[in-house]
Amino acid sequence: MWWPFWRKSSNALGKEFQAREAENAHLKTEAETYAKDLESLIRARTDQLQTATGNLERSFDVSLEALGYALDLKQNSPKGHSRRVTLFTIALAQAMGLPREQIALIARGSFLHDIGKMAVPDAILAKPDKLTPEERAVMQEHPFRGYQMIRNISSLKAPAEIVYSHHERLDGTGYPRQLKGGNIPFGARIVAIANTLDSITSNLPYRPARSLGVARQEIEMGSGRQFDPEIVNVFLSMPDKIWDDLRRSVDAP
């Protein structure tokens, strides 16, 4: 009596096993299909995010550029100063072999280096005569004011340090914090030379533009005291044509 019962149970178990195997195979196929679909969805979403991020960064940089134009109009400095200093900075950074990502951060700091002058009264910015000690003290606050303006923007944390430090000197006699040597951010040390180069070779209210030769002499004389000798050496190794071409690219209509 038990044999037919056992045989019948065995057949039922076999069919149940086959059904489960078929169901498992079906589930496995569905899981593989879902994984492929999910991978495609993630890839598509990643591409969309990268595109959106790229568009946002471009919009952000356009906004920064507009801000730089506004700053050039406000401050008593040569037209195109922020753009020229940025191009000079990029040329120096490239000549030093810095990676592209680092150059991009330094360039942003360079373009915004004078943004703190937005907080300086127009009467001081536009004054053609020598500033009084009190007025000079207000003017020398602009690196800190600029730092305050942008330090809380996540993408500008590193550039904010450049804004804060671009008037520091290697020997510790700069402002506003009297930083010395390696305590000055590397990007700020590059911007300091680019800023000096443009200031010397541009027309200012109290004096006409001077030649690139004069600028090279003054920057060389400041090596080790005001400027980083390594960056000065790179600057001196670069032909004048580079700076002439960059200036023309900004000054052209």
Residue 121 sits in a domain of what CATH number? Answer: 1.10.3210.10
118 pLDDT band, cuts 50/70/90, is confident
- Same structural domain, 133 and 43: no
Determine the average pLDDT of the residues in 97-117. Answer: 93
Q: Which of 146, 144, 168 is nearest to 156 (CA)?
A: 146
pLDDT in tens, 203-225: 877 788 999 999 999 999 999 99
- Is 47 found in the same domain as 115? no
Q: Hey, which of 38-52, 167-181, 198-212 has the most confident mean pLDDT?
A: 167-181
pLDDT of 172 higher than 70: yes
Please count the structural domains in the chain: 2
Q: Are 228 and 203 in contact (CB under 8 A)?
A: no
**Are 45 and 103 in the same domain?**
no
6 falls in which pLDDT band (50, 70, 90)?
Answer: very low
> What pLDDT is stored for residue 208 in this prediction?
87
> Do 227 and 151 belong together in one domain?
yes
User: For the chain, percent helix, then strand, then coil, each to nearest 5?
Assistant: 75, 0, 25
Same domain, yes or no, for 112 and 236? yes
What is the model's pLDDT at position 2? Answer: 45
Are residues 20 and 119 both part of a single domain?
Answer: no
Distance between CA atoms of 144 and 140, rounded to whole angstroms?
8
Q: Domain end: 66, 97, 113, which one?
A: 66
Contact by Cβ (8 Å): 76, 127: yes
Number of other CB atoms surrounding residue 172 within 10 Å: 14
State both tokens at 89: 């900075």
Range of the domain at 48: 1-66
Asked if 82 and 117 count as a contact pair (C-beta separation under 8 A), the reply is no
Same domain for 16 and 43, yes or no, is: yes
Are 83 and 188 in a shared domain? yes
Q: What is the pLDDT of residues 42-90, one digit of tens each?
A: 565 555 555 544 554 555 566 666 666 666 666 555 678 888 999 999 9
Is 235 found in the same domain as 121? yes
56 in the same domain as 35: yes
Question: 156 and 199: one domain?
Answer: yes
Per-residue model confidence (pLDDT) at position 56: 46
Q: Which of 35, 66, 97 is the last residue of a domain?
A: 66
Match 């001081």 to its residue by tokens.
124
- CB neighbours of 201 closer than 8 A, spacing ≥ 6? 209, 210, 211, 212, 215, 243, 247
Instruction: Judge contact between 65 and 111, C-beta under 8 A.
Output: yes
Residue 115 and residue 145 in one domain = yes
Confidence of residue 92 (pLDDT cuts 50, 70, 90): very high
